[in-house]
Amino acid sequence: MKVIAPLDPQFQPPVLANREHRRHARQPLVIGLEGEAGRVSRFETVVNPAAPDAARYVERLVKFLLWARGGWKLHLAGASAAVRAFDAELMARVYEKPFEIVVTEPEKIPPAKESGATLGGHLNGCRIGFDLGASDYKVAAVQDGDVVYADEFPWDPKNQPDPQYHFDHLQRGLTAAAAKLPRVDAIGGSTAGVVVDNRIMVASLFRSVPAEKFAAARDIFLQLRKQWSVPFEVANDGDVTALAGGMSLKVTGVLGVAMGSSEAAGYLSPTGQMTGWLSELAFAPVDYNPNAIADEWSGDRGVGASYFSQQAVGRLLAPAGIELPKEMGLPEKLKEVQRLMAQGDPRAAKIYETIGVYLGYTIPHYADFYDFQHLLVLGRVTTGRGGDILLAKAREVLATIFPEIAARIQLHVPDEKSKRVGQAVAAASLPKL
């Protein structure tokens, strides 16, 4: 590694490990994933079965693809692989089918059959958009493309066992926005978690809701649509991030990464479509260090949520030499780091440099799985001077080690206003009247 993460020298970028493995590999490896409505994603590469890291190489590729593209049935040709229980169980919940693994021959893996839908970009009429985060949710009222109202509402969804809490909070925000419009023609939403046909199948926002009550949480947007009786569309917050970037930049081929309470990611294809892929990159591996931090929800080590979120800032405090009260929440810790950054504290700068190194090595890794020319980076972690340092360090890694990626992929950061309400406005544009 020509550029080392200042506060995490043991960081092991997957892109370097995978390239080294493939340098000595000749055996074809084909991975197929069946998803909803017959959708099939294929990923073709090579493997060296004799290499000491062969099993982990295949398992980490499968892990990434599961959370990038999703699927209930895994086809493998050229190798076998175990799938972690957390991943298999979550895929079964998302697709409402038992998770299956089939080891077969390349010619027996179904051909690729990707889906795509053109959502968003509709700003005519009187619309409401909302964006659900872990510590607050944002609501915007939009009239013929102009934002006439925007606000943030604090909440604590992940610790609430009753889905009525979530419904009531959302209803309060929608009602506040509706009061600023002459009428409501459509409502669009952005939420963390996995959304299929306006049903939220898996979400950390509902992690405290018991199984016997989860049906109400899963169908919360359907209940709201019935309540408001207008076109109502909800998408994963990452996809709405990518949509917001595409709308702002007037481009397609966008991968959006939002660094907030967790990592949210989404994808707008070069043809301007949402693919139906999960793009839950919070669970996708970005560090192959076997001693990397374990994610609190999945239990897996080295996944994106621990590197591109407030969680990353929190765990880098100690290596940076910054002491804060243990009982202080992650949003408050981030604010304190931002305050130190504004004062020019070099310890805070090291935190942002470290996350920037993570990002610089991870962009080429993402490019192995996504076809994109624009990377939109946003979220509270990227706010202020620290965000400038983070992006500068990422660009340094790309220019130094991956010049071909630096020449092909542009990095973008929305302005402060867009960071705060752009997601909700893009969400408002989802339904077509």
The Cα angle at residue 89 between residues 86 and 91, in degrees rounded to 5: 105
Hey, what amino acid is at 232? F
Region of poorest pLDDT, from 52-61, 112-121, 406-415 = 112-121
Give the mean pLDDT of 384-403.
97
HSE, CB side, 13 Å, CA atoms: give it for residue 132.
27
**Taking Cα atoms as reference points, which of 244, 269, 241 lies closest to residue 123?**
244
Mean pLDDT of the residues in the chain: 93
Q: How far is CA 6 from CA 9, 88, 409, in A?
A: 6, 35, 25
- Using the predicted structure, report yes or no on whether residue 27 has a pLDDT greater than 60: yes
Report how far residue 151's alpha carbon sits from residue 139's, in angstroms, rounded to the nearest whole number: 6
Domains of the chain from N-terminus onward: 14-108 (no CATH), 126-239 (3.30.420.40), 247-424 (3.30.420.40)
Hey, what amino acid is at 268? L
Compute CA 25 distance to the chain's CA centroid, rounded to the nearest angstrom: 31
**Taking Cα atoms as reference points, which of 377, 361, 201 lies closest to residue 278?**
201
**Per-residue model confidence as pLDDT tens digits over 165-201:** 999 999 999 999 999 999 999 999 988 778 888 899 8
pLDDT-derived band at 422 (thresholds 50, 70, 90) equals: confident
Output the pLDDT for position 419. Answer: 53
Q: Tell me how crowded residue 404 is: count the other CB atoms within 10 A of its CB.
A: 10
Report how far residue 30's alpha carbon sits from residue 6's, in angstroms, rounded to the nearest whole number: 37
pLDDT-derived band at 415 (thresholds 50, 70, 90) equals: low
Output the pLDDT for position 416. Answer: 56
What is the pTM assigned to this prediction?
0.86
Taken as a whole, the chain contains a residue count of: 433
Backbone angles phi, psi at 259, to 5 degrees: -100, 90
**Per-residue model confidence as pLDDT tens digits over 274-333:** 888 999 999 999 999 999 999 988 999 999 999 999 999 999 999 999 999 999 999 999
- Using the predicted structure, report yes or no on whether residue 424 has a pLDDT greater than 90: no
**Taking Cα atoms as reference points, which of 433, 414, 430 lies closest to residue 422?**
414
Output the pLDDT for position 249. Answer: 84
Backbone angles phi, psi at 366, to 5 degrees: -60, -35
Output the pLDDT for position 377. Answer: 92
